[in-house]
Amino acid sequence: MKPNDDEVRGKIDETSGKLKERIGRSRGDADLEQEGADQRNSGKFEADVGHARRKAGEAVKDLGERINKP
C-alpha cells in the first residue's frame, strides 16, 4: 500500500527540521538549531504513527480476507 497522509507530512516535517538544524548549526544559531531538532523529532514521530496506522489497517484487511475465504 502507499504511504498515508501522516507518513508523508511526517517525512516532510522531518526533512524540514533537518534542514533548519543544519542551517542553525552552520550559522551558530542555537535557537534555530533546536527548533529544527524539535521539528525533526516531531516529524519522525508523526511518520512512525502513520506507518503504524497503515500496518494496522493492512493487518485488519488481511484478517478480513482470511475470514471470508471459503
- The residue ranking higher by pLDDT, 2 or 39, is 39
Query: Considering only CA atoms, which of 66, 48, 34 is closest in space to residue 3?
Result: 48
**pLDDT (0 to 100) of residue 69:** 79
Report residue 27's pLDDT band, with 50, 70 and 90 as the boundaries: very high
In a domain, residue 68? The reply is no
DSSP state of 69: -
Domain annotation covers residue 67: no
In a domain, 10, yes or no: yes
Residue 38 lies in a domain: yes
Confirm whether 64 is domain-assigned.
no
Q: How many domains does the chain have?
A: 1
Q: From its phi and psi, is residue 28 left (phi > 0), alpha (psi between -120 and 50) or beta? A: left
In a domain, 14, yes or no: yes
Q: Cβ(43)–Cβ(14) under 8 Å? A: yes
Residue 45 belongs to domain spanning: 5-57
Strand, helix or coil for residue 70: coil
What's the whole-number average pLDDT of the chain?
94
70 pLDDT more than 80: no
pLDDT, tens only, 30-64: 999 999 999 999 999 999 999 999 999 999 999 99
* Cα distance between residue 52 and residue 39, in whole Å: 20
Is residue 39 a part of any domain in this protein? Answer: yes
